[in-house]
Amino acid sequence: MSERRGEGDRATVIEAEGLKTHFQARSGIISALVGQKPKVARALDGVDVTIREREVVGLVGESGCGKSTLGMSLVRMYQPTGGRVRYRGEDITRAEGRALKDYRRQAQIIFQDPYSSLNPRLTIGQIIEEPLIIHRIGNAAERRERVARAMNLVRIPPAENVDRYPSDLSGGQRQRIAIARALVLEPKFIVADEPVSMLDVSIQASVLELIDELSRELGLAVLYISHDIATVGYICDHVAVMYLGRIVEEGPAEEILAEPLHPYTERLIAAIPRMDPAEAPERHELTGDVPSPLNVPPGCRFSSRCPFVAPLCEAVEPELSDQPGGRRVRCHIHDDGAARLRPDLARPVAGRVTHDEDVGILADAAS
């Protein structure tokens, strides 16, 4: 776990507000003929996130919940369809031409697969130099110098390695090269999209530690994306949990891992394998899949899988409400204000597993 870094004087690097990226699904020929509107996948559906200098924010959630869409939208590889992204105070949501190219130099993304992301026909030196050529930075000597610096940053000695090929390297070394390629442009913001999930478990921690160190050394703002909530404890200051295109819980990493508030977060944590079964919390299985963003359910998006579901949950989507300790959660259990507002809806559902104390809040409000 990294040392908590003082927040006071750190400048905000990236800030999203109500960010949405909806995709138009291709409509079939029949529906086009009968004039049906094409379906819309609400992959990212109103997300706020702020990342400061030297800060690593973790974004977790199951596969398909919209994490990559958020990452791609923040670095403007996707065009958001709503909301706003500010980079160091400047609105870049709809930047194009020169301004977009400049922004893309400052904001880099590292992908999951270090086997397919590096061109096998180029040497390590050429792979890292390529972005400099694309952005027309420096002459040959200056570029060589920058490549060597980037390789030193990722702890791969340049002298022995510039002329090698990706196939000469291990998975962990390749991911370090992918990181060097992103760093060579001297960005201020990095999205690391599942950077260790294809690597051997034994080397995952060292790559995560590297990302953490780089964030501090270079003052980088980092969005670390993972479907595995167990890995966020290594490097993240702050964690956001995503479900079906929205943040359902966020706050300081340590607190969330120790005491999750949202039933979804609780289940993600309960699913982490333990060495000692006696240490494992009471097991709550997370069954079924994330619903399709083509058919977002009414009310709470997690209601179809939540063991605490009450009629209120199926009718009214909870707000992301402030909790003690700088935490926020989107759940009626923790939002008794909403239960009071609609007491008619607040009745526990028969036949579901319920948590007496939590449902008590809803039931009290109903009486």
> Would you tell me which residues interact with ligand ADP (CB under 6 A)?
23, 41, 43, 61, 63-69, 293
299 binds, among Mg ion, ligand ADP, none (CB under 5 to 8 A by kind): none
252 binds, among ligand ADP, Mg ion, none (CB under 5 to 8 A by kind): none
Nearer to ligand ADP, 44 or 300 (CB): 44
83 binds, among ligand ADP, Mg ion, none (CB under 5 to 8 A by kind): none
- In angstroms, give the least distance from the CB of 236 to ligand ADP: 17
Nearer to Mg ion, 68 or 265 (CB): 68
Quote the CA–CA distance of 261 and 323 in Å, as a whole number.
10
Nearer to Mg ion, 67 or 267 (CB): 67
- In angstroms, give the least distance from the CB of 290 to ligand ADP: 7
- In angstroms, give the least distance from the CB of 71 to ligand ADP: 8
306 binds, among Mg ion, ligand ADP, none (CB under 5 to 8 A by kind): none
Count Cα atoms within 13 angstroms, Cβ side, for 320.
18
With 0-12 / 13-18 / 19 or more C-beta atoms within 10 angstroms meaning exposed / middle / buried, residue 33 is: exposed
Nearer to ligand ADP, 78 or 165 (CB): 78
Residue nearest to Mg ion (CB): 68
- In angstroms, give the least distance from the CB of 193 to ligand ADP: 7
Nearer to Mg ion, 60 or 124 (CB): 60
Nearer to Mg ion, 68 or 81 (CB): 68
108 binds, among ligand ADP, Mg ion, none (CB under 5 to 8 A by kind): none
- The contact set with Mg ion (CB under 5 A) reads 68
Nearer to ligand ADP, 69 or 175 (CB): 69
170 binds, among ligand ADP, Mg ion, none (CB under 5 to 8 A by kind): none
Nearer to ligand ADP, 23 or 165 (CB): 23
CA geometry: angle 173, 177, 181, nearest 5 deg: 170
118 binds, among ligand ADP, Mg ion, none (CB under 5 to 8 A by kind): none
- In angstroms, give the least distance from the CB of 215 to ligand ADP: 21
- In angstroms, give the least distance from the CB of 325 to ligand ADP: 27
- In angstroms, give the least distance from the CB of 199 to ligand ADP: 18
- In angstroms, give the least distance from the CB of 233 to Mg ion: 20
Cα dihedral value 50, 104, 220, 143, nearest 10: 180
